[in-house]
Structure 1
Amino acid sequence: MIKIRVLIVDDSPFSQRLIKDALKESKYEVCGCAGTGSDGIRQYRELQPDLVTMDLTLPDMDGLECCRELLTIDPAGKIVVVSAMKDEAIINRGTAIGVKAFFQKPVKSEALLLGFEQIISQQGNEAGQQHFLEYFIAAFTKNIKDMTGMDVLSVDHSKIQTVVSHGLGVIIGITGSQQGRIMLDVSMDVAQEFTKKLLGTDVVADEDIFNSISEFTNIIAGHSISEINNVLKAKEFEIRLTPPSIIIGESIAIINPKMTSNTVTAKTAIGPLHMNVGFVGGK
């Protein structure tokens, strides 16, 4: 069996030993240990490991800065933080850099192995993210029916790189072990009629429309991500959502060169509703 090679960057011989012991009799092998960030960078270049465990407190540099250096060398690198420190600020900084997961010392071998397995399995990430899309489609169509009583007449979806708005768009960011966005996009006429259905009234103000479409998008996103987190199971791989943002205007192009997204169009009696879901890179 070909072993998956792991580089440990940690200035504590005790922690290095614990990680080595956790990986014994598994498909992972420790190919190197570095006690400083600079040595970790040197060994990363030489050894080209499949995975890196990174302590945050190194004698010569901040562990997250070391992560940044490694990911500059290899943007597809897979790094997990194993440190006594684990708080929201660290997770946010690390996630923005490209760290795959965060473990707090002392980490149990089962948790570490599960985390590694999740990361390695995400090498085929596009297929996994395509599977995630199914949860968004299910939440999208179900909530149209449940919240308005309207049937979804048909559902189409296609991959695109540039999203062009139809009039009113609500964007919610996806953060955590996966990064991306969900966007609900409708014409102003459809938004108005849809809001009437949501509120059960014949007259709606602009504020009603913005608030209703925003919350509808939030519900779709929340239902979808909850189901995905139930599949991922491990807390280190949870996905979270940012608050909604609203864009108003037709033919506004939204482009992210790193993102190929899927647009799902649900056709209803009042017109089409468009949901765009995209993920960035291999997170």
Structure 2
Amino acid sequence: MTRALHDRAAVHRLDEAWLTAAWEAPGSRVLVIEQGKVHWTDESGPALLLVAPADAPDGERYFLGVDADDTAYFAVAAEALPEGVDAQVGHLYTLGSVLGDRDAGLLVHAFGLENWHRTHTFCARCGQPTEPVAAGHVRKCTVCAAEHFPRTDPAVIMLVVDPLDRALLGRQASWPEKRFSTLAGFVEPGESLRQAVVREVAEEVGAQVTGVTYVDSQPWPFPSSLMLGFHATAADDRIDVDGAEIAEARWFSRDELRAAVAAGDVLLPGTISISRHLIELWFGEVIPESNKW
């Protein structure tokens, strides 16, 4: 679910001499990214196309980290992906579930940084242009010197079960028919994670939560969320969907969910997502992939 092998090596982000030497090292590797798109190959399994620094195009440069062999990894945010490359173009949505752990971790890191830099080019304090510093992990105002850091929005995502141990899945109004997933919502200012779970469940489906258990977390850079996963218990099986954000919600026993997925009546979230992880933890095994998002 959350996969990464590279050490972010934050100690080097302010060491310009080290960064320069790492960029010039022939063994260093660069991921070229353009508005979330990257090149990848499938010669011996899906893998990112990483190039030598000398072959990287111009663009903002971000230091991603090093691996166990001290290979340094960078990302370059280019205006366009290089042409004439024997590779395919992919996106985190399509590649996240098929890449190996190293490449998945590098792509999530690079995607989050590139999106943040692209959308935060001006100072929130004085409105003047900002520039990347700290090897791409900070933006600094060119006028008032205010420092701005990558934004991460905490969100709770929860699988709710009733006293009969049936799972509650909902469909957002904007989703196609048959697409169901866990409930989720952003944490509000001054709110604990447990409070957020209780509030979101009550707002979306009218259920009253009596127990909340933390399970796991997942960075979700679409564009900048941190998903905090929970299992929650409802007092009873009464639900009343809000009709705005949630169009419908249903309780499923394990047998009912297995049959609905097999028949194509329910589309579950893809294996890349923490929502799928929460569902399968409750289910007790991997749910066959008859369909996916």
Structure-2-length-normalised TM-score: 0.29
User: Higher RCO, 1 or 2 (CA under 8 Å, sep at least 6)?
Assistant: 1
